Each structure stands twice: as structure tokens, then as C-alpha cells.
Amino acid sequence: MKTYYLDHAATTPVDSQVLEVMWPYMHDHYGNASSIYRIGVENRKAINQARKTIADTLGALPEEIYFCSGGTEASNWAIKGYADTHPDLTEIITSTIEHHATLHACESLERKGHVLRKIDVDKDGFLDLKALEKAISKQTLMVTVIWGNNEIGTVQDIEAVSRICQKHDVALHVDAVQAVGQLPIDLTAVDIDLMTISAHKFYGPKGMGLLYIKKGTDVAPLIHGGRHEMNLRAGTECVAGIVGMAEALRRAVERQQAYHEHLSRLSTTFLAMARETFDDVRLNGPLPGRQRLPGLLSLSFRHIEGLQLAFALDRRGVFVSTGSACSADSLVPSHVLEAINVPELENLGTIRISFGHDNKTDDLPIILGHLQDALLELR
């Protein structure tokens, strides 16, 4: 059976050329980068070069790039680490459609006494900027916002959010996990204090991420131990993962425009086909275009359960999720769909389709046929 992987928002396969640059550091160049002898020093040089490559690609300084285990750690570190260095500021502002890594990190601080303010979004998932500005006070610690939503694809106006934060001298943390490789990111053009990135979302290795910390921003360590990562993140560095992430990021940014066009073509074509085929299909989030991640579709169908539909598609070799992969097996309605006030949500089943490099236009009619068969079986 031919299979069709349509869950690139959950993870992507490691690019073969990324694997090539990683392999020597998993086999031959195995030294601890903190060691003083040659095989350690050479790996330290590899880390330094990777840090510079990433910084140059993002428009940052090398000393603003801190490696960690992934997006979840980076967001927790940004939020909790910044809170630790600013104990006098006790209010956090976020949106109602954040990734759980952000929401749960904020809620952990709320349980310790912080005030958490969640700003509403409209029916397409766009942040209410007037409400955001109104919520800021002298006690505001930070604003934390997801750039490209992982469930419905909404792309927030980060430049506008940044201007509001600058106006009120409030720190801004941005979850850019889904944005990298699909949207242009230039930190010389937009003022962001903290930014989260995860390598496995753009054809890099799992277990590898980074936190961008703008120079002059004070953040306390989340993980304590040795003096790694400029004394801010303890733990022996994963040299292969760092080198792999740098190469994956370089390639993702280099191919970003072509990739964006490829994903846009697939998603707009499939959405048009689905609307012609199914009377009850609902697109969640904004219409395809500049304000939506190009390869992500959140589709709802009446009188069906999303999990059942995902399993029925799996039996046919089509791999999709029901929302965020971090909670894809949950029967609880998506907090994102609740936040955008999807009508009759209790009667809808939702799947998330997210395209990638290997998906082709010629595959779309076959995938649609499998979707038809799955819905007929369940109904």
C-alpha cells in the first residue's frame, strides 16, 4: 500500500543532506565539546560555526543563540527564565490559541501567584491587538505569542505586536516553531526579545531546538549544572544535533520561497477539491494566503469524530492528525477551535492536513478518494 504522510506540522523527516553533515559527529568526531584535548576542541569549533550560521541566517548575533532540547524547553525557558529575573513583574499576557508548551508554562507561573491574561482572537484566530494593548500594565512581565498557529495556521502580525510591546517597554516572546521555513524571519527587521525554534519542524533532527535571547535580555537558567551555553543551559551539547539544525535551517531559509509556493499550491488545490466534493466541509482559520501558513489545513466534518476519521485514513495509508500532535489522542475539544468559536463544535470532527516537500499535486485526487471512502465507512 502506498502511504501519504500529511502531518508535517507534527514533524518532518530529516533531510538526507542534513544527515550527511550530522553523521561524522555521531561516529568519528565523538569528543565532548567541553574537553580540552583536540577531539573536544574540534567539536567546540563545530558548535561555534553552527551558532554563527544560525545567527547569520536569522539576522541575529552568535551570542544571542542558545541551544536546547526543542521547542517545549525553549518556550518554558523563555517564560520561566525571564520571570525568575524579574520577580517584581507579575502579569503575563498571551492568547487563547497558544501551543500547550506556552500555555502550560504560563499556567505554572499562575499557580505560583502570577496573573495570566489570555487575549481573545477572532473567528479566524487573529489576536485582538486593541485588547492586547489595553491589557498591558506596569506589572506586565511579558507578552508571549505564537507566530504561526500549529492547528489552524493563523499567522499573527508579529510586527504590530512588537510595536505595542516596544511602546510599553514590555518583553516579547514569540513561538516561531511552525513559522521557520515557511515564513521569512529577519530579526534585524522586527524587534523580538525571545524566540523559540525547533529543528524537527524544518527537516532537522528531533530533540534539538534553540532559544534566541536578544542581547541585553536577562533570562535565568531553566536547567542547572555545568557552564554550557554561555552559563545559561547546562548539559553536554549534542554536537550532531546542533550541526544538523544549522544545516537544516540554512537549507530551509534558502528554499523558503519555493517551499512556500509548493505548499500553497497543494493546500489551495486540495481545499478547492474538498469543497467541490463535500457539502459539509469547514475550513478552520483564515483563507489560504499571506495570513495563513501555506501548507496547513484544518478541516471539520459534521457528525463524525476526528479520531475515528484519522484512524480510518490511517488504515488507507493516509497519515493526518486531529490537531496538535502533542494532544492528538485527546477526546477533549481543541482549545484552539473553542477559542475561534467554531459553531456546533460538538457535532464536528476535525483533522489537520499539513503538506511537505514530498507531497505532489498528482497525489491529491488519490488522497481525496481515500477521504471520501473513510467518511462513507464511518457514516
Q: Give catalytic status of residue 326 as yes or no.
A: yes
Tell me the three-class secondary structure of 65-81, residue by residue.
Answer: EEEECCHHHHHHHHHHH
C-alpha 52/C-alpha 18 separation (Å) is 17
Backbone angles phi, psi at 368, to 5 degrees: -60, -40
Query: Helices marked H in the chain — which ranges?
Result: 16-27, 38-58, 71-85, 100-110, 129-135, 158-167, 228-231, 239-254, 256-277, 306-315, 335-339, 364-378
C-beta atoms surrounding 88 within 10 Å: 7
* Contact between residue 182 and residue 155 where contact means Cβ atoms under 8 Å apart: no
C-alpha 260/C-alpha 200 separation (Å) is 17
The SS3 of residue 195 is: strand
Question: Using CA atoms in the order 151, 155, 157, 159, what is the torsion angle rounded to 10 degrees?
Answer: 110
C-alpha 122/C-alpha 189 separation (Å) is 27
CA distances from 99 to 8, 177, 289, 307 (A): 16, 10, 22, 20
CA distances from 306 to 18, 276, 375 (A): 34, 21, 11
What are 94's strand-pairing partners?
A: 118
CA quadruple 100, 106, 108, 110: dihedral sign: negative
Q: Enter the C-alpha cell of residue 201.
A: 519542524
C-alpha 211/C-alpha 245 separation (Å) is 13
CA angle 229, 53, 215 (to 5 degrees): 50
C-alpha 304/C-alpha 306 separation (Å) is 6
Active site amino acids: 326
